[in-house]
Structure 1
């Protein structure tokens, strides 16, 4: 299984270097004053969002990350060099939790965003700091403080505009191949998709959106059955859901029952997901005689009492897929316009004189 959307790692920042006890020793100055320098600060550990990554699989093999400790102080008032920071690259969309407290300490949602997860220790003070009028030759220095140690849980939530929902073999991988340059594995058996695939749909020079092919759910997914529970969280960050269903399943199952089963899993996982914009995409129309397709689709829509947008397509032949993408693009453009109008209205209200 290539995809890992959760990992636990331990991070240990570098300790600060110790301060130095030293005295100036030069010819003709046998009793020089203290000149011990401070220790350097320990290196810290940062998480950085990298758009080139889309899994946490690397953390299966490396779970401990350490930063360098600071160099100790030296004589002649020479300060120790600070320890080098350790940078850990994670996918955009990674949420970070403290395992001990279960507190969320960060959410990396943008490319290049950085999060300090373990602060390096402070360098100790050299004896130069302890000279006084009553103690001209202090033999005192302080050790560096230890760096922070934390156990972190990383959870990946994909950042996509469109999420594809459906049971295994609903044709999600075929759909994403048809509308984007993504090349997910396609085969006629359950759980072909073991990790989410991201595809960029381009309709024009400046018209594009990202689709996430989320692995198929099964009944009981919200309770931990199958693979579904590992991926339901990804749906939470998509603006639009395309619910794909096989209109002519070879095993004789009822498409209407499959649609309702998916709705049940969404409701159990997060009731708000049912209110998310969700369009029905009736796939594999090519498996039906041409003269029966519209009637089969109409029957499904009628049984569901479906009032949202719906489409009848064949992903494998790309029939109807362009219309779905064009409608999705229009959906995002209208949403963007509404946001801009709301922001302009808010700015106008903020600029009105108070009285």
Structure 2
């Protein structure tokens, strides 16, 4: 007796995790199986159970995603215990599934191919540095995506010389119009629109990833759609907007570096910052020791600097004596110079 497709499927939460780890949107999964996007969403929420040929195709797709993914189980292992993946293998598997789609999403956010590649490389370097935390996260793909989006939308890139000149726009006029409309949106609106209409997250998940309340995320999404529709009236329909976002992202394929390069870059970055921290600590210790060596051991009051005294009148010069002064001088010279007689008053 063969098992039904539903009995071979993982839990609804694991279905969504496998899809995101594989870098697939709900629309892409729906297109591969031949069902609607709402059906895939219902399967991942546990509101519906896959069945029939669609259920078998869905089970095969999830089995293919779970095979090489980090933490995936091999249902065909006769021993019943899958081989444990090393951190390097798990990281490389996550990178292989997420990096291509993440680079296309970053291109929608920035309109720059080189910056999209940098955002993906930076996000996975941070993930490799904090791999124990990322490996235990319930949504590693969402963890890396949040870091990549933050890096891609950083306002500091405008001061970098390599990003001051614009890159060549897409060749298709319709793609150019859509990309221009996206780049005219505020960064928070652009991120919300890409997450909801591009990646396929629902509204609470979009709000959580953008660190906003659900009503605020709904308001941003509504205003972003209105702004895009005002510039490109053909995209007033959300389904058409989703299709065009997927086509624009698929037309431009920024190629991120291979996983080994990302891991090596992250390790070199760790070594650089570790050495910088050690050098800074040594400099602080050396300056402190020098201060203690050269500092005085007792207080010496400062000596005030000499200052010129202002406002003192110059001494008067002696002039010629008058007759009365000359007579007084001669009288003093002839008078007695000592003895008690000098103190005796005399009549004039």
Report the TM-score, using the length of structure 2 for normalisation. Answer: 0.22
Higher share of residues assigned helix: 2
Higher share of residues assigned strand: 1
The structure having more radius of gyration, on CA atoms, is 2
Report the TM-score, using the length of structure 1 for normalisation. Answer: 0.21
